[in-house]
Structure 1
Amino acid sequence: MPLFERIKEIVKVVFVYDEEARVDLFALFPGIKRFYRHRHNLFYLRSFGDIAFTLIILLGLFGPQDPKCNVSLFLAWGVWWVSIVMSWFFLGKFWCGICPFPGVGRILQALGISLNREPPFFLTKHCTSFALIFFALIVWTESVTEMKEWPLGTALLLMSILLGASIMATLFRGQSWCRYLCPMGKIIGSAATLSMIELRPDLTKCRTCRTFPCKKGTESAAGCPVFLGAFNIKNNIDCLLCGRCLSLCDKDSPRLNLRNPFVELIINKGRHLTCSLIIPFLIGSQWARFIQHTGPYTVMEQWLFGSDALAFTLLLALGFGCAVQVIRFGSSLFTTSEDPLFGKFSPMVPVLVPLAFTGELAYRLDYFLANIGDVVPTLGRQFGFNFEYLSFSISAATIHWTALALMGIGTVSGNYVLYLFNTRDFAGLIPKKNYYGLHILVLLVSAIYVIMM
């Protein structure tokens, strides 16, 4: 197919909503499929990530503790975090497929240092709650300790996550940490429901399979690291996009599809516990983080005996509670939240996913844009060179307007999801006043962001 026709097909699928429309990127760009089939390519990517990750930790542990003289802070909180958030929309959970955290665990398992047990039932049942607690601890620690100014603290935080993943690998088979407990994995999985990319099986081919090597593996290769297998992939929440199923499947079933980014939000309707817990906490934590350095927060801190820890803890809890109530109220306006076949769902969750995505991107970009002009000079100070003449700055106004533009995109996207619901799955079910009320509710959520910024 000529390049122009490929681009035309891609643009149509991405920008015109159609639940059935997909572009198989493996068929359209065979080089992507070859890239996945040759497992050493993913190995090189993971190795690069492992090296960069190790460098950040070493610089944090043994480098200068003056934030103006240690580039590890920008690498961790600027480059690493912004890359993760940007990947949510464009690459789904691909970041999880090359993440450095399970690296040590994979080595330990390869050496036979693992009990290789099945994850217990209580872990699989309550994994989202555990991951939410871990993410809350990360956000709390990042904010209360001013970790973006503390190289040693940043290194210790990364090492603690690495330790958790490694311990899980010595107890349970595969990448149980990634599937069940990783807070980043749950956040990325929830946000990846907005992604333009999905890995899905060709079920007509899967039905002829009797050995399921994509999940169980073969004598020479392990199966899916998170116990799915291509035939089990129904959404973007758990699949790591690591491509291992592609190299194991002898039926050529896995497909890497390009789609309209709102498709999965409409199909799922917020029925997964992961999204219904993670998304309100992500929004509530963003509100707390945005307001932390404002005047009202200072007053609140004074009321709580001058304790930043107490003030932010209370703010984090209030933010989460308010977001949960907004979602419950919004879902009630849909007039229905249960289906005999589909089960219970929370339709306000997918409406707010775009705002959760753009809110996190705005927060992380604030640090990135405010500090990118000092990266090269910082590198020079750390290693004894004078690069001060390469310093530049991005104005606070530019950063602020960038954040507002992102929130505008999130607001428009949330309202568009509402429109799709009202004209499709909920056609004729939402009273007109409720429908307008839902749009107003989205605007109010967006206004909270703007005020707190």
Structure 2
Amino acid sequence: MSLPEKKLPGSSKKPFNFLDIPFINKFIKSKWYPGIFQWLGLAIFGLIIFELMTGTINPHRNWGTAMVWVLWWPIIPILFIAVGRFWCAVCPFGKISDIVRRLVGSESPMPKFLKKYGIWLIDISFIVITWADHIFGVVHSPRGSGILLLLLLTMVVATSVFYERRTFCKSLCFLGGLAGNYSRAGALELRGNIDICRTCKTQSCYKGSEKAEGCNMFQFVRTMDNSHECNICGDCIKNCPNDSIRITPRKPTMELWGIKKPMLEQSFLAAVIMGIVLVQNVTMLQIWEQILNGIGMVTRTTSYNVNFTIAFIIAMMIPIAALWYASKLGSKTYFDTSTKQNFIRFGYAYIPIDLAGHLGHNLFHLLTETKALYFTTLQFFGVYKSGNLAVVSDQTVQILQFALVGLGTWLSMYAVYRIGEKKSVKQLWPFYLLILIFGIVNFLLFTLPMDHRVH
């Protein structure tokens, strides 16, 4: 028998728990979850790889390209907001990792180096893959996209042969870093009842049982206070002998100001994502050529690779430097904290506006190129059609982008207010100004016409 559910702070009511719904509870505890989604995803992944590597090299006619860059990539941030890191539970790479470990895995402990520097490696891999996309034209090359996926798959298999659980997902996956940061702003959380967990002797949520493996992301529900590395895979729910665990809706972004141990590498990634979102948007605008020409006048070369790399580095350094300067101002004038401490704490306030810029960019592709999926799917059956790819007008997309930027800017400012422990505007103004500037920059970028990925 389980103890009464502990009420959330500041609430007089028991929090809503999706696991109180019998169907959901039974489904998550069954062998079908998340397996049914994993096997479906694995089948689709196989088709995508096949099409990318053997289908037409024309990215505008390749079904795999449309599935990855027109559907999956734009939808991913939406999933992170709605259901946290659920994608990581059903990701084909994760399922392949599980299969490899069961068949040939040695289950050696994760190396201490990965435990200590894993998030930094994720930051680096995210930067390198984004850079490589522009240098090698991955998005516009079916073969390039296929090779990238196969390289990642090779890394998954290699780490799964040697190391326990999902070492790759936790310490090396570039998408995992993005998922971890964005899921902090998500509307769903998995937590344990502290009163019940305190009396538990089995620790089966972490160690596992005959019902399921222990947490693949090395999380211990009793001490979990954030959603950064929870995949909502359900294994801990299957293993818990006391029904201590709940899956609860929450206000998006509320986790950002309640982090007990903020980390430099996570705040750094939040700042880097802001720079990458900006450069991703700028490269799709007409002014991009002017920017490259301006850099070329300084470097005295017309090499795209050289000039883009410089622009890419500058774009990432701007939000990092801006956050550092704001942190320095705050530390020097109003806070009894160091610049580094402020950088770490307030870096998380970037996340909502990161999401807004990312979603706005992806929304353009999703809503103005969606029919590419329909046309490329017809090609499987020998039917060749073409036409307008958009489901809404560019003007409608632009209005939605403006709304997202406005909402993201406000949420980031509110995060500053809460992270700053509700201090006055006079005390927090460097961080408010920081967010406002990037909000305006994103707004201005979305006023300009963008190029499509497929035509």
User: What TM bracket, shorter-length normalisation?
Assistant: 0.7 to 0.9
Identity of aligned residues (%): 24
Pick aligned residue for 2:175 from 140, 160, 184: 184
Is the 1:407–1:446 contact (alpha carbons within 8 Å) kept by the matching residues of 2? yes
For these two proteins, the number of residue pairs brought into alignment is 429
Larger mean Cα displacement after TM superposition, 358-367 or 217-226 = 217-226
TM-score w.r.t. length of structure 1: 0.87
Change (3 A) 1:344 1:21: farther
Aligned AA for 1:306? Answer: T
Task: Report the Cα distance in structure 1 between the residues aligned to 2:302 and 2:47, rounded to whole angstroms.
Answer: 36
- Establish whether residue 167 from structure 1 lines up as the match of residue 158 from structure 2: yes
Native 8 Å contact 1:131 1:181 kept in 2: yes
User: Does the Cα contact within 8 Å between 2:368 and 2:390 map onto a contact in 1?
Assistant: no
1:28: Cα distance to partner? Answer: 4.8
Structure 2 residue aligned with 1:57 = 49
Pairing of 1:109-188 with structure 2 (within 5 A): 109-111=101-103, 113-188=104-179
Distance 1:318 1:370, change over 3 A: same
Give the alignment's TM-score, normalised by structure 2: 0.87
| Residue identity opposite 1:357 in structure 2 | L
Q: Determine if the alignment matches structure 1 residue 39 to structure 2 residue 37.
A: no
Determine which of 327, 330, 344 is the counterpart of 2:326.
330
Taking the aligned partners of 1:409 and 1:270, their CA distance within structure 2 comes to 27
Give, as a single letter, the amino acid of the residue that structure 2 aligns with 1:448: V
Give how far 1:142 is off.
Answer: 1.9
Gaps of 5+ in 2: 1-7, 447-455
- Aligned mate of 1:280, from 261, 265, 271: 271
TM-aligned CA distance change 1:441 to 1:22, over 3 Å: farther
Tell me what 1:8 maps to. Answer: none
Partners of 2:68 and 2:336 in 1: CA distance: 40
- Please point out which of 234, 240, 244 is paired with 1:249: 240
- Whether contact under 8 Å (2:356, 2:407) holds in the other structure is yes
Give the Cα–Cα distance (whole angstroms) in 2 for the partners of residues 375 and 220 of structure 1.
Answer: 39
CA RMSD of aligned residues (A): 2.6
Inter-partner Cα distance in structure 2 for 1:306 and 1:398: 37
**Aligned ranges for residues 223-262 of structure 1 at < 5 Å?**
223-262=214-253
1:287–1:449 contact (8 Å) kept in structure 2: yes
Report deviation, 1:114.
1.9
Q: Structure 2 CA distance, aligned partners of 1:110 and 1:24?
A: 36
- 1:372 Cα deviation after fit: 1.2
Question: In the aligned structure 1, how far is the partner of 2:387 from the partner of 2:354?
Answer: 38
1:74 pairs with 2:66 = yes
- The alignment status of 1:97 with 2:89, answered yes or no, reads yes
Q: CA deviation at 1:414?
A: 1.4
The amino acid of 2:364's aligned partner reads D
* Unaligned ranges ≥5, structure 1: 1-12
Per-residue CA deviation, residues 188-241 of structure 1 (Å, 9 max, x unaligned), is 111111111111111111111112111111256421112213223221111111
Counterparts of 1:145 and 1:20, CA distance in 2? 56
1:297 aligns to what? 291
Q: Of 408, 433, 445, which residue of structure 2 is paired with 1:440?
A: 433
Q: Tell me the distance in 2 between the aligned counterparts of 1:19 and 1:316.
A: 46
Q: Is the 8 A contact 2:123 2:265 kept in 1?
A: no
State the secondary structure of the residue aligned to 2:93.
coil
Q: What is the DSSP-based 3-state SS (H/G/I as helix, E as strand, rest coil) of the residue aligned with 2:247?
A: strand
Q: Structure 1, residues 353-399: CA drift from partner, whole Å, max 9, x if none?
A: 11011111112222222311333223334642133368556443333
Moved more, 265-274 or 101-110: 265-274
Partner secondary structure for residue 200 of structure 2: coil
Counting only pairs closer than 5 Å after superposition, residues 311-350 of structure 1 correspond to structure 2 as 311-332=307-328, 333=330, 335-336=334-335, 338=337, 346-350=344-348
Amino acid in the other structure paired with 1:191: Y
